[in-house]
């Protein structure tokens, strides 16, 4: 033990967005039970690279007695994380048959003229969902419905809040969903990077709620486009908890203008 600098995370301020996880090159931080936590003192070098990436100001540096920073343990942890993520991706992309419900499929919707009466949608409103599965962890990057498409990345509360989601946003677009607060954003960032690299989408739109933690999806999308060197227009849409569109902006307008 020695007196040295170590990061401290204020759980009361932390909203679980996960920005600190992706900014920590040593893998010292993880989102556990919806909160960012220091996994172990031996992984933290005390330099504070994560401080500027916390939108809530929940991370500080304190000087106290702590276990020494261990570079060998950090290398082992990073290698373990990489193997774990690779194994997860392999299970999802190469063995979807293990769960029949996650089998990849495109959904061809019948027209009003051909739809049987017993299947007619209540009130004449038909679903615009065109792909399955929709959860980001389960969606295979090589899915044909993603190739060259206008992809929607949607926080899973959005369709409940915005009543016209199917007609206004979902029509003729594949959708991928997840929870920016409760799920592992670092894993999401890596998965979306692979999707962008393989599918080469025409555009990417992020729909999230107005609550701060939900904007984590925007940062995931920005990371993925940068990591995959994807020249893809990115649109960011903020939905209010009362069901209104609060903001809709193209974040990389210069790229969009040159397409």
Q: Within its chain, how far is the Cα of 32 from the centroid? A: 16
Q: How many CB atoms are located within 10 Å of the residue 198 CB?
A: 15
DSSP string, 232-247: --EEEEEE-TTS-EEE
pLDDT at 62 over 80: yes
Q: What are the CA-CA distances from residue 32 to residues 28, 46, 181, 215, 255 (Å)? A: 12, 21, 10, 18, 36
Query: Which of the pair, 17 or 87, is modelled with greater confidence?
Result: 17
pLDDT at 39 over 80: yes
pLDDT given for residue 49 in this prediction: 82
Instruction: Give the β-pairing of 234-239 and 203-209.
Output: parallel
pLDDT-wise least confident of 187-191, 227-231, 236-240, 242-246? 227-231
pLDDT at 110 over 70: no
pLDDT in tens, 164-223: 999 999 999 999 999 988 888 888 999 999 999 999 999 999 999 999 889 999 999 999
For residues 236 and 259, give the distance between their C-alpha atoms in angstroms, rounded to a whole number: 18
pLDDT at 160 over 90: yes
Q: Within its chain, how far is the Cα of 11 from the centroid? A: 22
Nearest by Cα to 191 from 234, 130, 142 = 142
pLDDT at 63 over 60: yes
Instruction: Give the β-pairing of 150-155 and 105-106.
Output: unpaired
Mean pLDDT of all residues belonging to the chain: 84
Question: pLDDT confidence of 101, banded at 50, 70, 90?
Answer: low
pLDDT at 158 over 90: yes
Exposed/middle/buried for 39, CB within 10 Å: 0-12, 13-18, 19+?
middle
Query: Long-range CB contacts (< 8 A, 24+ apart) of 103-110?
Result: 103/132, 103/133, 104/132, 104/133, 104/140, 104/143, 105/131, 105/132, 106/130, 106/131, 106/144, 106/145, 107/131, 107/132
In the chain the domains, ranked by start, together with CATH numbers, are 2-85 (3.30.70.20), 130-257 (3.40.50)
Q: What are the CA-CA distances from residue 195 to residues 5, 229, 230 (Å)? A: 38, 12, 10
pLDDT at 121 over 60: no
């Amino acid at each position: 033990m020695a007196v040295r600098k170590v990061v401290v995370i204020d759980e009361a301020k932390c909203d679980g967005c996960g920005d600190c996880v992706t900014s920590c090159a040593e893998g010292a931080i993880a989102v556990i039970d919806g909160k960012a936590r220091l996994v172990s003192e031996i992984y933290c070098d005390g330099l504070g690279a994560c401080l500027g990436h916390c939108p809530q100001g929940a991370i500080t540096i304190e000087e106290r007695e702590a276990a020494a920073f261990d570079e060998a343990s950090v290398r082992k942890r990073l290698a373990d994380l990489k193997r774990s993520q690779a194994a997860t991706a392999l299970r999802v992309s190469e063995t979807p048959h293990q769960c029949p419900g996650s089998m990849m499929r495109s959904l061809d919707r019948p027209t009003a003229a051909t739809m049987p009466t017993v299947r007619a949608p209540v009130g004449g409103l038909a679903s615009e969902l065109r792909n399955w599965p929709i959860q980001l962890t389960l969606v295979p990057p090589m899915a044909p419905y993603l190739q060259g498409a206008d992809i929607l990345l949607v926080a899973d509360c959005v369709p409940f809040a915005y009543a016209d989601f199917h007609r206004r946003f979902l029509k003729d677009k594949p959708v991928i969903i997840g929870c920016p607060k409760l799920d592992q954003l670092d894993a999401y960032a890596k998965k979306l990077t692979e999707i962008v690299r393989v599918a080469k989408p025409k555009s990417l739109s992020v729909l999230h709620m107005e609550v701060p933690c939900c904007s984590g999806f925007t940062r995931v999308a920005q990371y993925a486009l940068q990591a995959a060197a994807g020249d893809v227009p990115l649109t960011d849409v903020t939905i209010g908890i009362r069901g209104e569109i609060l903001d809709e902006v193209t974040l990389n307008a210069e790229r969009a203008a040159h397409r």
